[in-house]
Amino acid sequence: MDVREAILKRRSIRKFKEIPVEQEKIAQLLDAARLAPSGSNRQPWRFLVLEEPKIRELVADVSAQMFVRRAPLIILCYADLRCWLPDYIKYLQEELKNSGSVDRNDMAMNLSLLSSNPLYTSGKELKNYIPNAFLDVGIAIEHMVLSAMDLGLGTCWCRLVDELKLKEIFELPDYYKFVSMLLVGYPDQCPPQRPRKDIEDLLIG
């Protein structure tokens, strides 16, 4: 399936067949996430892949929506905020300089121009990088969503969950910031396309 077709045919799927997702397909989804772009190539995405019914039930119990219970695969998507620790950033900058991906001259930056850019000025506390983390992990999740289309799978982003309870259930440290769940399975519905704004309505000015 080409990308255009996947984009056109994708729908949020909230009814799944009661069949498990094959291991090879799970691996392909995670590989698609792995290959996503991220700021400075930080790759902050981390995943909890939940197939066991008992474990999935624990998640469904702290989710606001009933259909979570019927998803045969739940992928909990987190950002590892340690990816914004200064030493790691230094390492990434060196790696980028040496990678041959960018011309060394093109790497020169005038940081004073970024003083009003919240993604560059928030510094100090790791929690200030949460907006950056959401961008990166969001892209990785959508890579999985579109790859799922190619594999005949349906998905639904799902954020309506008690993330503090998830943290307790899986005993997660503070540096993992919850971004979203992704429900995955074989679709048992063909929802119509939801309305979308026209291109003219998206253009500013």
Ligand X SMILES: Cc1cc2nc3c(=O)[nH]c(=O)nc-3n(C[C@H](O)[C@H](O)[C@H](O)COP(=O)(O)O)c2cc1C
The footprint of ligand X on residues 58-87 (CB under 6 A) is 65
Going residue by residue from 169 to 198, which x/- string records binding to ligand X, judged by CB under 6 A? -----------x----------x--x----
Nearer to ligand X by Cβ, of 116 and 194: the residue is: 194
Contact flag: residue 134 with ligand X (CB under 6 A)? no
Smallest gap, in angstroms, from Cβ of residue 65 to ligand X?
6
Nearer to ligand X by Cβ, of 124 and 196: the residue is: 196
Cα–Cα dist 133/127, whole Å: 10
Instruction: Say how many residues touch ligand X, by CB under 6 A.
Output: 11
Cα–Cα dist 114/176, whole Å: 27
Helix (H, G, I), strand (E, B) or coil at 178: strand
For residues 183 and 144, the answer to whether their CB atoms sit within 8 Å is no
Cα–Cα dist 17/73, whole Å: 11
CA of 111: how far to CAs of 108, 120, 122, in Å?
9, 9, 13
Closest CA to 45 of 109, 134, 110, 120: 134
Contact flag: residue 34 with ligand X (CB under 6 A)? no
Contact flag: residue 11 with ligand X (CB under 6 A)? yes
The footprint of ligand X on residues 152-171 (CB under 6 A) is 156-160
Instruction: Provide the binding-site residues for ligand X, judged by CB under 6 A.
Output: 11-12, 65, 156-160, 180, 191, 194
